[in-house]
Amino acid sequence: MAISVRVSSSDCFETSSFAQSYYLDKSTQLKHDIDLESGKISSRMKAAGRGSNRLTHSLSGSDYTLTSDLSSQGTISTFSSSTATGNVASISQNIAGEGCLSVNMQSKQGGVNSGQEAAVANGVLSSSQSLYASEDQGAFSRQITEMEGQGGKVISLAVGEENVLLAEGDYYGQGGMKANLASAASERAIASGFASIDDVSVLSSESVDAFSSMQENAMMGVSGMRMLGDASNIGSFDVSVLNFNLDGEKETTKASGVANSAMTFSGGSYSSFSLTGYRWNTLDPQIQLYLNPTGMAADLTTTSAAEAISAAANTWDDAVAGNIFADTTAVIVDENKVVDDPFSSTPTKDSYNVHGWKSFGNSFVALNRWWTDGTKKDGYYRITESDTWYNLDYGWTTSLTTAETTSKIDLQSVALHELGHCIGMGDIYSTTYGGVLPPSDERTKDYEQVMNLYNGPQRTLGNGDKTGAQILYGRAPSVITVGSGKS
Protein backbone atom coordinates (compact mmCIF):
# COMPACT_ATOMS: atom_id res chain seq x y z
CA MET A 1 0.00 0.00 0.00
CA ALA A 2 1.45 3.37 -1.06
CA ILE A 3 0.29 6.77 0.24
CA SER A 4 1.71 10.22 -0.56
CA VAL A 5 0.82 13.51 1.15
CA ARG A 6 2.02 16.97 0.09
CA VAL A 7 0.99 20.33 1.57
CA SER A 8 2.40 23.85 1.70
CA SER A 9 1.65 27.01 3.63
CA SER A 10 2.56 30.66 3.04
CA ASP A 11 2.25 33.90 4.99
CA CYS A 12 2.82 36.02 1.86
CA PHE A 13 6.52 36.36 2.72
CA GLU A 14 7.78 32.81 3.33
CA THR A 15 6.54 29.39 2.22
CA SER A 16 7.02 26.04 3.95
CA SER A 17 6.32 22.65 2.40
CA PHE A 18 5.65 19.19 3.79
CA ALA A 19 5.85 15.84 1.99
CA GLN A 20 5.28 12.33 3.36
CA SER A 21 5.33 8.99 1.56
CA TYR A 22 4.31 5.62 2.99
CA TYR A 23 4.95 2.17 1.55
CA LEU A 24 3.15 -0.03 4.05
CA ASP A 25 2.42 -3.67 4.70
CA LYS A 26 -1.31 -4.32 4.87
CA SER A 27 -0.96 -5.12 8.59
CA THR A 28 0.45 -1.68 9.42
CA GLN A 29 -1.77 0.88 11.14
CA LEU A 30 -1.21 4.59 10.52
CA LYS A 31 -2.54 7.81 12.00
CA HIS A 32 -1.39 11.18 10.68
CA ASP A 33 -2.60 14.63 11.73
CA ILE A 34 -1.55 17.81 9.91
CA ASP A 35 -2.35 21.35 11.09
CA LEU A 36 -2.05 24.30 8.72
CA GLU A 37 -1.69 27.91 9.78
CA SER A 38 -0.54 30.97 7.89
CA GLY A 39 3.05 30.17 6.95
CA LYS A 40 3.27 27.22 9.39
CA ILE A 41 2.80 23.45 9.17
CA SER A 42 2.57 21.09 12.17
CA SER A 43 2.42 17.32 11.85
CA ARG A 44 2.02 14.31 14.14
CA MET A 45 2.35 10.76 12.82
CA LYS A 46 2.02 7.37 14.50
CA ALA A 47 2.48 3.98 12.83
CA ALA A 48 2.79 0.37 13.98
CA GLY A 49 2.83 -2.95 12.21
CA ARG A 50 4.94 -5.69 10.74
CA GLY A 51 6.21 -6.86 7.37
CA SER A 52 8.01 -4.58 4.94
CA ASN A 53 7.48 -0.87 5.55
CA ARG A 54 9.11 2.39 4.47
CA LEU A 55 8.21 5.87 5.67
CA THR A 56 9.80 9.03 4.24
CA HIS A 57 9.25 12.55 5.54
CA SER A 58 10.56 15.91 4.34
CA LEU A 59 10.17 19.57 5.27
CA SER A 60 11.44 22.46 3.17
CA GLY A 61 11.49 26.23 3.36
CA SER A 62 13.31 29.23 1.98
CA ASP A 63 16.79 27.73 2.40
CA TYR A 64 16.45 24.48 4.34
CA THR A 65 15.47 20.85 3.85
CA LEU A 66 14.87 18.25 6.58
CA THR A 67 14.44 14.59 5.60
CA SER A 68 13.77 11.31 7.38
CA ASP A 69 13.86 7.87 5.73
CA LEU A 70 12.81 4.83 7.79
CA SER A 71 12.84 1.28 6.40
CA SER A 72 11.95 -1.94 8.22
CA GLN A 73 11.44 -5.63 7.62
CA GLY A 74 9.87 -7.06 10.75
CA THR A 75 7.90 -5.28 13.45
CA ILE A 76 7.94 -1.50 13.75
CA SER A 77 6.47 1.19 15.97
CA THR A 78 7.20 4.86 15.38
CA PHE A 79 5.98 8.30 16.38
CA SER A 80 7.12 11.61 14.92
CA SER A 81 6.23 15.27 15.25
CA SER A 82 7.37 18.15 13.09
CA THR A 83 6.98 21.89 12.73
CA ALA A 84 7.93 24.10 9.79
CA THR A 85 7.78 27.78 8.94
CA GLY A 86 9.46 29.57 6.08
CA ASN A 87 12.88 29.75 7.77
CA VAL A 88 12.80 27.33 10.76
CA ALA A 89 11.95 23.63 10.96
CA SER A 90 12.29 20.66 13.32
CA ILE A 91 11.53 16.94 13.38
CA SER A 92 11.46 14.65 16.43
CA GLN A 93 11.12 10.91 15.94
CA ASN A 94 11.00 7.79 18.14
CA ILE A 95 11.46 4.33 16.63
CA ALA A 96 11.34 0.80 18.03
CA GLY A 97 11.35 -2.43 16.11
CA GLU A 98 12.61 -5.94 15.55
CA GLY A 99 14.08 -7.50 12.42
CA CYS A 100 16.10 -5.41 9.96
CA LEU A 101 15.67 -1.66 10.44
CA SER A 102 17.44 1.44 9.18
CA VAL A 103 16.82 5.16 9.64
CA ASN A 104 18.55 8.09 7.97
CA MET A 105 17.84 11.70 8.99
CA GLN A 106 19.40 14.78 7.35
CA SER A 107 19.19 18.49 8.10
CA LYS A 108 20.39 20.96 5.44
CA GLN A 109 20.55 24.72 5.82
CA GLY A 110 22.01 26.63 2.91
CA GLY A 111 25.34 25.02 2.09
CA VAL A 112 25.78 23.15 5.40
CA ASN A 113 24.22 19.95 6.66
CA SER A 114 24.04 17.59 9.63
CA GLY A 115 22.76 14.02 9.77
CA GLN A 116 22.37 10.80 11.73
CA GLU A 117 22.03 7.19 10.62
CA ALA A 118 21.36 3.93 12.48
CA ALA A 119 20.71 0.36 11.33
CA VAL A 120 20.46 -3.14 12.76
CA ALA A 121 20.36 -6.55 11.07
CA ASN A 122 18.33 -9.43 12.54
CA GLY A 123 17.87 -7.76 15.90
CA VAL A 124 16.10 -5.05 17.86
CA LEU A 125 16.58 -1.29 17.69
CA SER A 126 15.21 1.67 19.59
CA SER A 127 16.16 5.20 18.68
CA SER A 128 15.19 8.77 19.49
CA GLN A 129 16.28 11.22 16.79
CA SER A 130 15.83 14.93 16.17
CA LEU A 131 16.59 17.45 13.43
CA TYR A 132 16.61 21.24 13.41
CA ALA A 133 17.45 23.91 10.85
CA SER A 134 17.33 27.70 10.91
CA GLU A 135 18.99 30.55 9.07
CA ASP A 136 20.54 31.87 12.29
CA GLN A 137 21.82 28.59 13.79
CA GLY A 138 22.49 26.35 10.81
CA ALA A 139 21.78 22.59 10.85
CA PHE A 140 21.59 20.24 13.86
CA SER A 141 20.91 16.52 14.36
CA ARG A 142 21.00 14.04 17.23
CA GLN A 143 20.37 10.36 17.92
CA ILE A 144 20.11 8.29 21.09
CA THR A 145 20.16 4.68 19.90
CA GLU A 146 20.35 1.20 21.38
CA MET A 147 20.45 -2.01 19.35
CA GLU A 148 21.15 -5.71 19.64
CA GLY A 149 21.47 -8.07 16.73
CA GLN A 150 23.63 -9.86 14.20
CA GLY A 151 25.17 -6.55 13.16
CA GLY A 152 24.59 -2.83 13.18
CA LYS A 153 25.97 0.63 12.59
CA VAL A 154 25.62 4.28 13.60
CA ILE A 155 26.83 7.39 11.76
CA SER A 156 26.93 11.05 12.78
CA LEU A 157 27.96 13.62 10.15
CA ALA A 158 28.28 17.40 9.96
CA VAL A 159 29.50 19.42 6.98
CA GLY A 160 30.15 23.08 7.73
CA GLU A 161 31.49 25.86 5.55
CA GLU A 162 35.06 25.17 6.72
CA ASN A 163 35.26 21.49 7.68
CA VAL A 164 33.60 18.09 7.75
CA LEU A 165 33.25 16.05 10.95
CA LEU A 166 32.30 12.37 10.86
CA ALA A 167 31.93 9.73 13.58
CA GLU A 168 30.86 6.20 12.70
CA GLY A 169 30.85 2.73 14.19
CA ASP A 170 29.70 -0.71 13.11
CA TYR A 171 29.90 -4.31 14.27
CA TYR A 172 29.35 -7.80 12.84
CA GLY A 173 28.35 -10.83 14.87
CA GLN A 174 25.75 -11.10 17.62
CA GLY A 175 26.14 -8.19 20.01
CA GLY A 176 24.90 -4.76 20.93
CA MET A 177 25.66 -1.10 20.39
CA LYS A 178 24.65 2.09 22.18
CA ALA A 179 25.19 5.61 20.86
CA ASN A 180 24.38 9.15 21.95
CA LEU A 181 25.64 11.39 19.15
CA ALA A 182 24.95 14.96 18.07
CA SER A 183 26.33 17.12 15.29
CA ALA A 184 25.85 20.72 14.21
CA ALA A 185 27.00 22.71 11.21
CA SER A 186 27.22 26.39 10.42
CA GLU A 187 30.54 28.11 9.74
CA ARG A 188 32.27 25.12 11.36
CA ALA A 189 31.05 21.57 11.90
CA ILE A 190 31.12 20.32 15.50
CA ALA A 191 30.05 17.12 17.25
CA SER A 192 29.60 15.55 20.67
CA GLY A 193 28.62 12.21 22.16
CA PHE A 194 29.84 8.66 22.63
CA ALA A 195 29.32 5.07 21.46
CA SER A 196 29.83 1.61 22.95
CA ILE A 197 29.83 -1.94 21.58
CA ASP A 198 29.03 -4.85 23.89
CA ASP A 199 28.95 -2.26 26.73
CA VAL A 200 32.58 -1.29 26.04
CA SER A 201 33.25 2.36 25.25
CA VAL A 202 34.80 2.40 21.77
CA LEU A 203 34.25 6.11 21.13
CA SER A 204 34.41 8.34 24.21
CA SER A 205 32.88 11.78 24.57
CA GLU A 206 36.36 13.16 25.31
CA SER A 207 37.69 11.81 21.99
CA VAL A 208 34.78 13.28 20.04
CA ASP A 209 35.21 16.63 21.80
CA ALA A 210 38.95 16.60 21.08
CA PHE A 211 38.45 15.95 17.37
CA SER A 212 35.65 18.50 17.22
CA SER A 213 37.96 21.25 18.50
CA MET A 214 40.88 20.43 16.17
CA GLN A 215 41.82 22.99 13.53
CA GLU A 216 44.17 20.68 11.62
CA ASN A 217 43.19 17.60 9.61
CA ALA A 218 43.05 14.43 11.70
CA MET A 219 41.45 11.00 11.65
CA MET A 220 41.61 7.99 13.94
CA GLY A 221 40.22 4.53 13.25
CA VAL A 222 39.97 1.40 15.39
CA SER A 223 39.18 -2.06 13.97
CA GLY A 224 39.06 -5.34 15.83
CA MET A 225 37.78 -8.89 16.21
CA ARG A 226 35.16 -9.99 18.74
CA MET A 227 34.75 -13.47 20.20
CA LEU A 228 31.17 -14.69 19.82
CA GLY A 229 31.65 -18.09 21.39
CA ASP A 230 34.54 -20.38 20.61
CA ALA A 231 37.54 -19.55 18.44
CA SER A 232 35.69 -20.61 15.28
CA ASN A 233 33.00 -17.96 15.75
CA ILE A 234 34.52 -14.50 15.59
CA GLY A 235 32.92 -11.19 14.63
CA SER A 236 34.40 -7.77 14.06
CA PHE A 237 33.91 -4.04 14.58
CA ASP A 238 35.13 -0.73 13.15
CA VAL A 239 35.02 2.76 14.66
CA SER A 240 36.41 5.99 13.24
CA VAL A 241 36.23 9.75 13.78
CA LEU A 242 37.60 12.45 11.47
CA ASN A 243 37.80 16.21 11.19
CA PHE A 244 38.97 17.46 7.79
CA ASN A 245 39.17 21.01 6.49
CA LEU A 246 37.33 21.19 3.21
CA ASP A 247 39.85 23.31 1.29
CA GLY A 248 37.40 23.61 -1.54
CA GLU A 249 36.32 19.95 -1.39
CA LYS A 250 32.64 19.57 -0.57
CA GLU A 251 32.66 15.86 0.10
CA THR A 252 34.67 13.11 1.70
CA THR A 253 34.38 9.61 0.32
CA LYS A 254 36.07 6.33 1.08
CA ALA A 255 37.76 4.76 -1.88
CA SER A 256 36.98 1.18 -2.69
CA GLY A 257 38.60 -0.95 -5.36
CA VAL A 258 37.07 -3.47 -7.68
CA ALA A 259 39.38 -5.54 -9.87
CA ASN A 260 38.53 -5.97 -13.54
CA SER A 261 38.81 -9.73 -13.34
CA ALA A 262 36.04 -11.66 -11.61
CA MET A 263 37.58 -15.07 -12.27
CA THR A 264 37.75 -17.41 -9.29
CA PHE A 265 40.61 -19.83 -8.68
CA SER A 266 42.15 -21.41 -5.60
CA GLY A 267 42.42 -18.47 -3.23
CA GLY A 268 39.04 -17.08 -4.14
CA SER A 269 38.13 -14.28 -6.50
CA TYR A 270 40.66 -11.66 -7.55
CA SER A 271 37.93 -9.05 -7.11
CA SER A 272 37.20 -9.91 -3.47
CA PHE A 273 38.75 -6.92 -1.71
CA SER A 274 37.92 -3.46 -0.44
CA LEU A 275 40.19 -0.45 0.11
CA THR A 276 39.62 2.11 2.85
CA GLY A 277 41.04 5.10 0.96
CA TYR A 278 44.09 5.28 3.26
CA ARG A 279 47.62 3.97 2.82
CA TRP A 280 51.28 4.69 3.58
CA ASN A 281 51.96 7.19 0.81
CA THR A 282 55.61 6.42 0.07
CA LEU A 283 57.12 4.09 -2.54
CA ASP A 284 58.70 1.79 0.07
CA PRO A 285 57.11 2.56 3.44
CA GLN A 286 59.46 0.21 5.37
CA ILE A 287 57.06 0.33 8.33
CA GLN A 288 58.91 -0.55 11.50
CA LEU A 289 56.79 -2.64 13.85
CA TYR A 290 57.47 -2.95 17.57
CA LEU A 291 56.38 -5.63 20.03
CA ASN A 292 56.09 -4.82 23.71
CA PRO A 293 56.03 -8.27 25.35
CA THR A 294 54.92 -6.97 28.76
CA GLY A 295 52.10 -9.13 30.09
CA MET A 296 52.12 -11.37 27.03
CA ALA A 297 49.91 -14.47 26.88
CA ALA A 298 51.33 -17.25 29.05
CA ASP A 299 51.67 -19.88 26.31
CA LEU A 300 53.76 -17.60 24.09
CA THR A 301 57.39 -16.61 24.17
CA THR A 302 58.69 -13.23 23.09
CA THR A 303 60.55 -14.89 20.23
CA SER A 304 57.58 -16.91 18.98
CA ALA A 305 55.25 -13.90 19.13
CA ALA A 306 57.70 -11.65 17.28
CA GLU A 307 58.23 -14.34 14.64
CA ALA A 308 54.48 -14.80 14.15
CA ILE A 309 53.89 -11.07 13.63
CA SER A 310 56.96 -10.86 11.37
CA ALA A 311 55.67 -13.77 9.29
CA ALA A 312 52.32 -12.00 8.89
CA ALA A 313 54.08 -8.79 7.82
CA ASN A 314 56.25 -10.67 5.34
CA THR A 315 53.15 -12.31 3.85
CA TRP A 316 51.85 -8.88 2.83
CA ASP A 317 55.33 -7.82 1.67
CA ASP A 318 55.67 -10.88 -0.56
CA ALA A 319 52.49 -9.95 -2.43
CA VAL A 320 53.59 -6.47 -3.56
CA ALA A 321 56.42 -4.67 -5.34
CA GLY A 322 57.22 -2.22 -2.56
CA ASN A 323 58.65 -2.96 0.85
CA ILE A 324 55.68 -2.26 3.09
CA PHE A 325 57.38 -3.43 6.27
CA ALA A 326 60.99 -3.06 7.39
CA ASP A 327 63.29 -5.50 5.60
CA THR A 328 66.00 -6.39 8.11
CA THR A 329 63.88 -6.77 11.24
CA ALA A 330 60.17 -6.30 10.67
CA VAL A 331 59.42 -6.50 14.41
CA ILE A 332 61.69 -5.02 17.09
CA VAL A 333 61.05 -6.17 20.65
CA ASP A 334 61.00 -3.15 22.98
CA GLU A 335 59.29 -3.25 26.36
CA ASN A 336 59.59 0.54 26.66
CA LYS A 337 57.26 1.25 23.75
CA VAL A 338 53.88 2.53 24.92
CA VAL A 339 50.93 0.14 24.86
CA ASP A 340 48.13 2.44 25.95
CA ASP A 341 44.53 1.56 26.75
CA PRO A 342 42.84 1.15 23.33
CA PHE A 343 39.60 2.47 24.84
CA SER A 344 41.22 5.53 26.44
CA SER A 345 39.61 8.93 25.95
CA THR A 346 43.12 10.32 25.37
CA PRO A 347 44.73 7.86 22.91
CA THR A 348 48.50 7.94 22.45
CA LYS A 349 49.88 9.13 19.12
CA ASP A 350 53.69 8.80 19.23
CA SER A 351 54.69 7.79 15.66
CA TYR A 352 55.57 4.22 16.74
CA ASN A 353 53.69 1.21 15.36
CA VAL A 354 53.36 -0.94 18.46
CA HIS A 355 51.86 -4.41 18.97
CA GLY A 356 51.05 -5.28 22.56
CA TRP A 357 48.82 -7.12 24.99
CA LYS A 358 45.96 -5.93 27.18
CA SER A 359 43.22 -7.59 29.19
CA PHE A 360 40.12 -6.03 27.67
CA GLY A 361 37.61 -7.74 29.92
CA ASN A 362 35.24 -8.09 26.96
CA SER A 363 34.63 -10.03 23.76
CA PHE A 364 37.15 -8.14 21.60
CA VAL A 365 39.90 -10.44 20.35
CA ALA A 366 42.22 -7.91 18.73
CA LEU A 367 42.19 -4.24 17.75
CA ASN A 368 43.99 -2.07 15.23
CA ARG A 369 44.06 1.72 15.50
CA TRP A 370 45.44 3.98 12.78
CA TRP A 371 45.95 7.72 12.36
CA THR A 372 46.10 10.06 9.37
CA ASP A 373 47.03 13.73 9.09
CA GLY A 374 44.65 14.22 6.19
CA THR A 375 47.27 14.83 3.51
CA LYS A 376 46.39 13.19 0.21
CA LYS A 377 48.41 11.71 -2.66
CA ASP A 378 47.03 10.01 -5.77
CA GLY A 379 43.61 9.91 -4.13
CA TYR A 380 44.73 8.24 -0.86
CA TYR A 381 44.98 9.79 2.58
CA ARG A 382 48.33 9.21 4.29
CA ILE A 383 48.50 6.82 7.26
CA THR A 384 50.99 8.07 9.84
CA GLU A 385 50.76 5.45 12.60
CA SER A 386 49.10 2.11 13.32
CA ASP A 387 48.97 0.17 16.62
CA THR A 388 47.60 -3.30 17.37
CA TRP A 389 46.40 -4.92 20.61
CA TYR A 390 45.75 -8.60 21.40
CA ASN A 391 43.34 -9.55 24.19
CA LEU A 392 44.92 -11.44 27.09
CA ASP A 393 41.52 -12.79 28.11
CA TYR A 394 41.74 -15.46 25.39
CA GLY A 395 44.07 -18.36 24.79
CA TRP A 396 46.71 -17.74 22.11
CA THR A 397 49.14 -19.94 20.23
CA THR A 398 51.77 -19.67 17.52
CA SER A 399 51.34 -23.34 16.61
CA LEU A 400 49.11 -23.89 13.58
CA THR A 401 48.32 -27.45 14.70
CA THR A 402 47.23 -26.24 18.14
CA ALA A 403 45.03 -23.54 16.58
CA GLU A 404 43.39 -26.10 14.30
CA THR A 405 42.70 -28.65 17.04
CA THR A 406 41.90 -26.50 20.10
CA SER A 407 40.00 -23.32 20.93
CA LYS A 408 43.20 -21.29 21.08
CA ILE A 409 43.55 -18.42 18.61
CA ASP A 410 46.36 -18.35 16.06
CA LEU A 411 48.41 -15.18 16.57
CA GLN A 412 49.83 -15.17 13.04
CA SER A 413 46.36 -15.38 11.43
CA VAL A 414 44.98 -12.55 13.55
CA ALA A 415 48.10 -10.41 12.98
CA LEU A 416 47.73 -10.97 9.23
CA HIS A 417 44.18 -9.56 9.31
CA GLU A 418 45.06 -6.62 11.58
CA LEU A 419 48.11 -5.70 9.49
CA GLY A 420 45.75 -5.60 6.52
CA HIS A 421 43.96 -2.72 8.25
CA CYS A 422 47.36 -1.19 9.01
CA ILE A 423 48.18 -0.90 5.29
CA GLY A 424 44.76 0.28 4.08
CA MET A 425 42.74 -2.89 3.44
CA GLY A 426 39.09 -2.93 4.48
CA ASP A 427 36.82 -5.72 5.70
CA ILE A 428 34.58 -7.31 3.07
CA TYR A 429 31.51 -8.29 5.07
CA SER A 430 28.16 -6.77 4.12
CA THR A 431 26.09 -3.82 5.28
CA THR A 432 23.60 -6.34 6.64
CA TYR A 433 26.12 -6.94 9.39
CA GLY A 434 27.41 -3.40 9.75
CA GLY A 435 29.99 -3.54 6.96
CA VAL A 436 30.36 -1.36 3.88
CA LEU A 437 29.42 -3.78 1.07
CA PRO A 438 25.83 -4.55 -0.03
CA PRO A 439 24.58 -8.08 0.80
CA SER A 440 24.31 -8.85 -2.91
CA ASP A 441 28.06 -8.25 -3.36
CA GLU A 442 29.79 -11.55 -4.11
CA ARG A 443 32.87 -10.45 -2.14
CA THR A 444 30.99 -10.93 1.13
CA LYS A 445 30.67 -14.67 0.40
CA ASP A 446 34.37 -15.22 -0.37
CA TYR A 447 35.83 -16.69 2.83
CA GLU A 448 39.19 -17.46 1.26
CA GLN A 449 40.16 -13.84 1.88
CA VAL A 450 41.97 -12.87 5.08
CA MET A 451 40.00 -9.59 5.15
CA ASN A 452 36.68 -11.43 5.38
CA LEU A 453 35.35 -12.88 8.63
CA TYR A 454 37.65 -15.08 10.70
CA ASN A 455 36.48 -18.70 10.47
CA GLY A 456 39.66 -20.43 11.59
CA PRO A 457 43.44 -20.13 11.15
CA GLN A 458 44.51 -18.64 7.82
CA ARG A 459 48.13 -17.70 7.24
CA THR A 460 48.01 -17.08 3.49
CA LEU A 461 46.42 -14.29 1.50
CA GLY A 462 43.53 -14.87 -0.84
CA ASN A 463 43.63 -13.66 -4.42
CA GLY A 464 41.50 -10.65 -3.54
CA ASP A 465 43.77 -9.74 -0.61
CA LYS A 466 46.74 -9.75 -2.98
CA THR A 467 44.98 -7.68 -5.63
CA GLY A 468 44.00 -4.99 -3.15
CA ALA A 469 47.49 -4.79 -1.69
CA GLN A 470 49.00 -4.58 -5.19
CA ILE A 471 46.73 -1.68 -6.11
CA LEU A 472 48.03 0.15 -3.04
CA TYR A 473 51.73 -0.77 -3.23
CA GLY A 474 52.42 -2.17 -6.70
CA ARG A 475 52.49 -5.66 -8.14
CA ALA A 476 55.36 -7.99 -7.25
CA PRO A 477 57.48 -8.84 -10.32
CA SER A 478 57.11 -12.33 -11.71
CA VAL A 479 60.09 -14.64 -11.24
CA ILE A 480 60.84 -16.98 -14.15
CA THR A 481 63.30 -19.83 -13.70
CA VAL A 482 65.17 -20.84 -16.85
CA GLY A 483 66.72 -24.31 -17.04
CA SER A 484 70.32 -25.00 -18.09
CA GLY A 485 69.25 -26.68 -21.29
CA LYS A 486 71.22 -29.82 -20.45
CA SER A 487 69.52 -33.13 -21.01
Domain segments of the chain as ranges: 2-245, 274-473
Centre a 10 Å sphere on the Cβ of residue 36 and count the other Cβ atoms it contains: 14
Cα dist. 314→327, 396, 448 in Å? 9, 21, 19
Strands 200-203 and 189-197: antiparallel
Cα dist. 1→22, 27, 50, 214, 423 in Å? 8, 10, 13, 48, 48
Element (H, E) at 396: strand 396-397
CA atoms 379, 212, 197, 94: torsion sign: negative
Residue type, 242: L
How far apart are the C-alpha atoms of 484 and 487, rounded to whole Å?
Answer: 9
Residue 110 φ/ψ, nearest 5 degrees: 60, -125
Q: What is the pLDDT of residues 203-251, one digit of tens each?
A: 999 989 999 998 888 888 888 888 776 655 677 888 989 898 886 444 3
Residue 458: pLDDT band with limits 50, 70, 90? very high
Q: What is the pLDDT of residues 273-314, one digit of tens each?
A: 889 999 999 889 999 999 999 999 989 999 999 999 999 999
Residue type, 109: Q
Q: Tell me, what's the pLDDT at 483?
A: 40
Q: What is the pLDDT of residues 72-93, one digit of tens each?
A: 999 999 999 999 998 999 999 9
**Closest Cα to residue 140, out of 103, 104, 182, 181?**
182
**CATH superfamily to which 274-473 belongs:** Collagenase (Catalytic Domain) (3.40.390.10)
How far apart are the C-alpha atoms of 52 and 30, rounded to whole Å?
Answer: 14
How far apart are the C-alpha atoms of 90 and 130, rounded to whole Å?
Answer: 7
How far apart are the C-alpha atoms of 33 and 40, rounded to whole Å?
Answer: 14
How far apart are the C-alpha atoms of 185 and 111, rounded to whole Å?
Answer: 10
Q: What is the pLDDT of residues 467-481, one digit of tens each?
A: 899 999 988 764 433
- Range from 150-159, 233-242, 379-388 carrying the lowest mean pLDDT: 233-242
How far apart are the C-alpha atoms of 308 and 411, rounded to whole Å?
Answer: 7
Residue 11: pLDDT band with limits 50, 70, 90? confident
User: Is pLDDT of 486 > 50?
Assistant: no
Q: Tell me, what's the pLDDT at 469?
A: 94
